[in-house]
Amino acid sequence: MKRNTLMFALIIVVGISLAVTANAKVIKWKMTSTWPPSISLIEADQAFVKAVNHLCKGKLQIQFFSGGTLMPSYEVFDAVSNGVIQASGDWPNYWAGKDRVFDSLGSYPMGLTPMDYLLWIYSAKGLDIYQEAYGKFGMYYLVTGITPMECGIRSNKPIKTLADLKGMKIRMSGKTQGHLLKDLEAAQVAMAGQEIYQAMQKGTIDACEFSSPSSDWGMGFAEVTKFWAVPGWHQPASVMGVMINKKAWEELDPELQQTVQYAAKVATLEFLSKQYYDVIEYTDKFIDKGIEINNYPAEDLERVQSLINKHTEEIAKEEPLFKKSMQSQIEFRKKFAKWREMEGPFGFGYNPKTYPDLDK
């Protein structure tokens, strides 16, 4: 009798458990991106969606739509803010027209490097600045990837010094970057990444920049340019992320929110390591194609630093949140200054002047 009672109780418990599981609400999100499939930066969004759908075990499912398939890329900010869709991948600087703080969160001329951004965001409370910036527009934000240094300027005439930029029409993103080009007597031309190839081909613009070597190669820049000026002082790194509608975020329970946060960190690691490793293959591809690489002299980079300091000071006078963001970044860099000096050539990577011959 006792055995039958226990068995009956077990059946009831299992039945209730299965019923709860069957009736559990699956949360479904639609997510898009600023990037079309032809631009490798979309890989940050794809890595995030993959990680969420795997780690959330069916409790949250994200259906992903490539950039341009649901709406034009420039509309995604308002679409997420207004709850038309739950999420979208982005690059913060695209929204500098809404608040200048965004100009400091995706990249900044002579600014944070990839490792700087990683440490500042996750260990120096930089992520709090993103939440404050996007929170003003009803969104929650997670970082999903960081690129290596942006390639630099590509052109069909050699650029060996800043003086060579004079009079050139250059496709370059970023509001502050535009001010710098004006200082250098060049003209900033704004256009979507998909339009750059044709603009270079037709001579509508004289030079361009976009992103990492893998992105630039995939966009066909080796076919329409001959010269490559480095380093990419205009964007020492770029942060990719996902905008999430605040109401949709708050509908997730705390455990699910934490899982999504972990998914974003997984995506960041996957994207950063892949983008960085890809520079080997795609830099070689440009070189093999006959692209000539020229380096700016040290004094030119010092001049850019002087110019960007001036603009940063001017913007900070008018934009409180921008000032807060830049103060946080500057304090972070100052704290690391001594250690950077001590690291010497062993900071991110060391290029030995000689290597052992292991075939002797």
Q: Where are the domains of the chain?
A: 27-149+237-279, 153-235+291-337
Percent of all residues in the chain with a pLDDT value above 70, rounded to a whole number:
93
210 assigned binding-site residue = yes
227 assigned binding-site residue = no
- Does domain 27-149+237-279 correspond to CATH entry 3.40.1410.10? no
pTM of the model: 0.88
- Report yes or no: 320 and 87 within 8 Å, Cβ to Cβ: no
235 assigned binding-site residue = yes
Instruction: Find the mean pLDDT for residues 277-292.
Output: 96
The neighbour count for residue 54, using CB atoms within 10 Å, is 11
Distance CA 302, CA 298 (A): 6
Return the ∠ at Cα 42 (arms to 31 and 57), rounded to 5°: 50
150 assigned binding-site residue = yes
Instruction: Find the mean pLDDT for residues 217-244.
Output: 96
Return the ∠ at Cα 69 (arms to 63 and 70), rounded to 5°: 70
- Report yes or no: 214 and 40 within 8 Å, Cβ to Cβ: yes
Which strands make up the sheet holding 139-147, listed edge to edge?
60-64, 27-32, 87-90, 238-245, 139-147
**Sorting pLDDT into bands at 50, 70 and 90, what band is 170?**
very high
The string of pLDDT tens digits covering residues 297-326 is: 999 999 999 999 999 999 999 999 999 999
Question: Tokens 């703080």 sit at which residue?
Answer: 101
pLDDT of residue 358: 67
**Sorting pLDDT into bands at 50, 70 and 90, what band is 350?**
confident
61 assigned binding-site residue = no
Domain 153-235+291-337 class, CATH top level: alpha beta
pLDDT of residue 24: 62
CATH topology identical between 27-149+237-279 and 153-235+291-337: yes
User: Which of helix, strand or coil describes residue 64?
Assistant: strand
Most confident of the following: 12-21, 237-246, 339-348: 237-246
